[in-house]
């Protein structure tokens, strides 16, 4: 909020003047009754977040991409198996094989296009 008299910006929760680090740290605003962190501790927290976020995104992508490459075709194969369970065995196997191959290719194409786009948004 902005003061109508002097034009200073202040936090509506704790009624203190807003600094650059006021909302960016877990203990910047004293509304919840905690003592505010020192400037050194806030800067160290931000540096840790700055370094930790890309590492976390890379780890998440390293787990999610293989899970999608394996999981989506398996899921499609299971769905097709349930759908064509009572039909002709050869037709069922052809549908399952084709569906799994298409799912694998579609997953690869989607990941090839979307992962670089998502990584650019984080940088």
What is the predicted pLDDT for the residue at 31? Answer: 58
What is the predicted pLDDT for the residue at 24? Answer: 64
Chunk the chain into consecutive blocks of 10 residues (it has 123) and report each block's average pLDDT, rounded to whole numbers: 84 76 62 69 84 87 88 91 89 91 89 82 71
What is the predicted pLDDT for the residue at 98? Answer: 92
What is the predicted pLDDT for the residue at 1? Answer: 79
What is the predicted pLDDT for the residue at 33? Answer: 55
pTM listed for this prediction: 0.52
User: How does DSSP assign 45-105, residue by residue?
Assistant: HHHHHHHHHHHHHHHHHHHHHHHHHHHHHHHHHHHHHHHTTTS-HHHHHHHHHHHHHHHHH
């Amino acid at each position: 909020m902005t003061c109508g008299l002097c034009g200073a910006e202040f936090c509506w929760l704790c009624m203190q003047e807003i600094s650059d680090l006021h909302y960016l740290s877990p203990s910047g605003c004293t509304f919840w009754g905690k003592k505010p962190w020192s400037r050194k501790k806030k800067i160290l927290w931000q540096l840790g977040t700055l370094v930790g976020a890309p590492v976390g995104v890379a780890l998440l992508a390293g787990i999610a991409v293989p899970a999608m490459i394996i999981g989506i075709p398996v899921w499609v194969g299971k769905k097709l198996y349930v759908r064509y369970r009572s039909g002709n065995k050869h037709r069922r196997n052809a549908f399952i094989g084709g569906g799994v191959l298409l799912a694998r290719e579609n997953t690869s194409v989607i990941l090839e296009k979307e992962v670089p786009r998502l990584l650019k948004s984080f940088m």
